[in-house]
Amino acid sequence: MAAITGLMRVMERAARKAGQRLRRDFGEVEHLQVSKKGPADFVSKADQMAERTLWDELRAARPDWGFLMEEGGEIPGEDGKPRFIIDPLDGTTNFLHGIPHFAISIAVQERTLDGKDWGEVTAGIVYQPITDESFWAEKSRGAWLQDRRLRVSARRYMDEALIATGIPFAGHGDINEWARIYAEIGPRIAGVRRNGAASLDLAWVAAGRYDGYWESSLQPWDSAAGCLLVREAGGFVSDYKGRSLPICDETILAGNDSLHSKLHKLVAEALRNT
C-alpha cells in the first residue's frame, strides 16, 4: 500500500467526521418519511451541517487554501494556493427517500503554472458513510479502497459490460440527448444502472464494479474526485468530444481504454444523428 500523505489523512478525517453525522441523520430521515411535512427540510439541514463540518476540519488544517462547495459556493484562498472542491452529500434524493446510497466527495485542485486559472486535480476521496468505504487517490500514487489498490475493469466486450449513467430529471439535463445516446449504447451492453450519485458511480468504475459511465450536466463537485479515481485506477475520463479535461462535468465518459474508445464512438454517432 502507498504511504498515506498528511493531506489525505486530513481529507479522510474530515470525511469520516461528516459521515458520522450523516449516518445519524439518515436514521432520522427514515422516521420522518411518515410525517406530513416530510424530510426535505431536515435533509437540507443535514447537507449544510455536513458541509460545515468539512469546512471546519479542512480550514483548520489548510487555512490559506480556497474552497468550492455545493452549498457555500466559492471561497477564495491565498494567491497560488490550491482549493478543496466539496460535495457534502452526493445522492441527496437517495438520502431523502431512505435509500442508503450516497457519499461525501472531496477533491484538491491546483492552480495552473501562471496562477491565472484552475488546473489539475491532485487528490480526491469519495466516502460512503453507510458502507464505511473510503475510495481515495492522489496523482501518480494510484487509487485505493481503504488499503486495497484499485484497477478498472479488464472487460473488453460491450455485451459483457455493465455501464452506469445519470438520467435527466426535473429540468436538469437534456433528455433527448440522453435518449439518443442510450439508443446507441443500450442494445449493445449487458446492463445499465442509474443509482443517483455520480461520485460513487465513478468510484465504482475505478473499483471495476462498473465497466463504464456516462452523464451530462454535472457540477465540478460531483465529479472532481471521481475523475481522479478512475484515471489513477488505469482508466480514461473525457468529455463527449474526447477531451481529457482536469474535471469533466458538463459531459463525462469513463471506462477502461478499450470500452472508453467504444463508448466514445457510440456517443459521437448518437450526437451526429441530431
- Kindly list the averaged pLDDT for each block of 10 residues, start to end, along the chain of length 274: 86 97 85 52 79 97 96 92 97 89 98 89 98 97 96 97 92 88 97 97 98 96 98 98 94 96 96 77
The count of structural domains within the chain is: 2
Asked whether residue 35 is domain-assigned, the answer is yes
Whether residue 24 is found in the same domain as residue 121:
yes
Q: Residue 97 corresponds to which cell in the numbers above?
A: 427517500
Residues 6+ apart with CB under 8 A from 182: 165, 192
Asked whether residue 108 is domain-assigned, the answer is yes
Whether residue 168 is found in the same domain as residue 82:
no
CATH number, domain with residue 102: 3.30.540.10
Model pLDDT, residue 30: 65
Whether residue 260 is found in the same domain as residue 214:
yes
Of 56, 57, 79, the C-alpha closest to 66 is: 79
Model pLDDT, residue 37: 43
Q: Which domain holds residue 163?
A: 158-272
Whether residue 207 is found in the same domain as residue 144:
no
Say if residues 89 and 47 touch (Cβ distance below 8 Å).
yes
Whether residue 171 is found in the same domain as residue 203:
yes
Whether residue 106 is found in the same domain as residue 11:
yes
Of 84, 116, 149, the one marking the end of a domain is 149
Would residue 18 be called left, alpha or beta, if left means φ above 0 and alpha means ψ between -120 and 50 degrees? alpha
Model pLDDT, residue 45: 82
Whether residue 16 is found in the same domain as residue 71:
yes
Whether residue 106 is found in the same domain as residue 49:
yes
Asked whether residue 1 is domain-assigned, the answer is no
CATH number, domain with residue 162: 3.40.190.80
Of 114, 130, 149, the one marking the end of a domain is 149
Read off the pTM: 0.93
* DSSP for 133-164, written as a single string: EEEEEETTS-EEETTEE--------GGG-EEE
